[in-house]
Amino acid sequence: MQKKSIKAGSNYLLTGSIVAVILATTPYFFYTYEVVPDGMVWDTFLFTYTSNHYEHAVLSVWTIFGKFIPFYLLMIWFLTCKHWWYHCILIPTAMYGYQLIQALNDDVKFMDKGEELGFIVPVVVACLSMSYLARTKVFDKVHGIDISEIENYVKKPSDRFFK
| Tens of pLDDT, residues 94-134 | 889 888 888 887 645 555 555 656 777 787 788 778 877 77
First to last CA, the chain: 58
Q: Are 71 and 26 contacting, i.e. CB atoms less than 8 angstroms apart?
A: no
Closest CA to 59 of 85, 92, 33: 33
Collect all residues with Cβ–Cβ distance below 8 Å to 8 and sequence separation of at least 6: none
Looking at residue 156, its pLDDT comes to 46
Helix (H, G, I), strand (E, B) or coil at 42: strand
For the stretch 67-82, pLDDT in tens is 999 999 999 998 888 8
